[in-house]
Structure formats: C-alpha cells, structure tokens
Structure 1
C-alpha cells in the first residue's frame, strides 16, 4: 500500500515537472478592461508568477473554485498574482456585482474581442494558465483547481527554478 502511494507521488511529481516546462518562449501581453473600466495589461502583473483563470458567472465549476483562488492569493500574494478573466458577454455591472458579492480579492478583467493566443481558444471552463514572472506560458490546466493544487504547482515551479 505504501509502495503504491510512493509510486503515485513520484509519478505526480514527474507529471507536474513535465507540464511546468515553458510552453511559450514569447512573453504574453494583452490589454483588457477590468470590471471598473480601467485598461490593464497582462504585463502590469509581471515580476511574479501569474495565475490567469478564465471563468464565467454561469459556470458552476468556476464559481466553486473561486474560494480556492481567493485562499491561494491570500496565502501567497507576496509571491504570485491571480487574475480572473470573465469569459462571457454579460454586462460589466453584473460581473462586477458578482465579483464583489463573492469578495474576489484579485483583479477581474473582461474578455475582449481578440483571442488571447496561446491561451485561447479555450478547451473548457474554467481554465487556468500559469505565466512566468516575465510573461512566458508555463502551464495550462482545463477544469477547476483547488488551493492545494495551486500550491503544489507553485512548489513544483519553485523546485524547477532552484535546479
């Protein structure tokens, strides 16, 4: 039993390390509008790891993962940044009210009209992308995430940088 657990742990670490390899050598930078009407660029958040989460107010799994994203940012906000990109054409005041009601503590941007290559086209919602401190795409994940999962990714990326 312990051996199976060890094998699974080693395999999981190996998979995480493989998926942490830079997927995009070019820095990603787009200008989007936040829920308060201010123009923001992805590069505004460079300097630390950036966790970009595509979500929608009508997406059940997206809503369920928001508390985990909040918890992750609370715990590691000095080392990382989380941004949410509302992937919908819902009126901005409704998205803003929704974000405020859920007490989202990270910037929420609105999807624009141009695809955010290489993050789009999305294969599903929610989708989370990890960008390096210089804007390079390091990891993609389709489906909901947990605070523990995000922390494991962060630790794996830290270990990769140290090696």
Structure 2
C-alpha cells in the first residue's frame, strides 16, 4: 500500500516539476536574449544600446591608422575623454573593418586610449560612414546626430562645441 501511495505522489509532482522546468527555461531564454541585444560593443567588451544612452551626449569619432590628421587628434580626444563633461560618452570607430586582434594591435601601436567600438555587420550607429576622415559626430540626448565636425579637432574645440549645443 505504501508503494502505491508513493507512486501516486510522484505522478502528482511530475506536472508541477515539468511546469517549473519550462518556466525556468523560458526565464533563462529571456535573460539571454536581453543580454545579447546591443547596438555596439567596445574593444574592452562593454556593450551599449542606444536606448540606454538616451539622455546622454555621445561623441563618435571615425579614424584610421592611414589618416595622419586622425592620429594627430587622438591625444586631443584622450585629453577630452579624461575630462568628459557630465552626462557625456566618447567612442572612436575605426573606418576600416578589422578583426578583434587587429583592432587591439592597432590601438596598442598608436596608443589609442579612448573606448573603441568594434565594427561588425551588426554594429548600429545613428550615422552613415563619413566620406572622409577624420569625422566626429555629436549625438544629442534624444539619440539623433546634432552636429558633424569634418576634419581635425582639438579637445578645446570639441568642448566648446558641446557646450554650445547644450545651451541651444
């Protein structure tokens, strides 16, 4: 009699355990899906979505190692990055697609210390690739490009431009 009762209790638990397993799997899938959803990733492995950057000012600089003005402005961008205004992020994007290892090697070779976006087919940026370099885009708090600076710039120029845009 005890064996029949134990088997009956096990049969009652099976649907509950199956339901628990399905709920756990679904929650794991949702968490994984949300974790994988991002617009771009930096060389350091940080992922960003434009929706989470809303409300912030974002500066994106396109550069290439074959572009002398780009390399000249990198120390200026590093200087700007060291004293970023509040609510502001700075990223660089290599003009040419590079593998992760090529990108790491390049940033070390040219001492690029600002966050670099790893470009891929899935990278989503709110601007088109510029026709020439260097090119710097300022994205406003609403997530839209509000200014484009074509050509070499200094940290002071970028700071002044950002301040002017914030006042508008």
Does the Cα contact within 8 Å between 1:36 and 1:96 map onto a contact in 2?
Answer: no
Greater RCO, 1 or 2 (C-alpha within 8 Å, sep 6+): 1
CA distance in 1, matches of 2:50, 2:111: 22
CA distance in 2, matches of 1:80, 1:115: 20
Aligned-residue offset at 1:69: 0.8
Aligned to 2:32: none
Aligned-residue offset at 1:115: 8.4
Aligned to 1:139: 147
Aligned-residue offset at 1:34: 2.3
CA distance in 2, matches of 1:88, 1:94: 11
Q: CA offsets, 1:4-44, max 9 Å, x none?
A: xxxxxxxxxxxxxxxxxxxxxxxxxx712322455433444
Q: Provide the TM-score with structure 2 as the length reference.
A: 0.65
Give unpaired runs (5+ residues) of structure 1.
Answer: 1-29
Aligned to 2:93: 85
Give unpaired runs (5+ residues) of structure 2.
Answer: 1-37
Aligned to 2:26: none
Q: Does 2:133 match 1:122? A: no
- 68-77 vs 36-45, which deviates more? 36-45
Q: CA offsets, 1:79-115, max 9 Å, x none?
A: 4211111221233223223324555443211223368
Does the Cα contact within 8 Å between 2:126 and 2:144 map onto a contact in 1?
Answer: no
Higher helix residue share: 2
Does the Cα contact within 8 Å between 2:73 and 2:153 map onto a contact in 1?
Answer: yes
The 3-state SS of whatever aligns with 1:51 is strand
Aligned to 2:60: 52
**Of 69, 89, 97, which aligns to 2:77?**
69
**Higher Cα Rg: structure 1 or 2?**
2
CA distance in 2, matches of 1:44, 1:106: 20
Q: Provide the TM-score with structure 1 as the length reference.
A: 0.67
CA distance in 2, matches of 1:80, 1:129: 13
CA distance in 2, matches of 1:126, 1:88: 13
RMSD across aligned positions (CA): 2.6
Relative to 1, partners in 2 of residues 1:98 and 1:117: Cα closer, same or farther, differing over 3 Å? closer
CA distance in 2, matches of 1:117, 1:78: 22
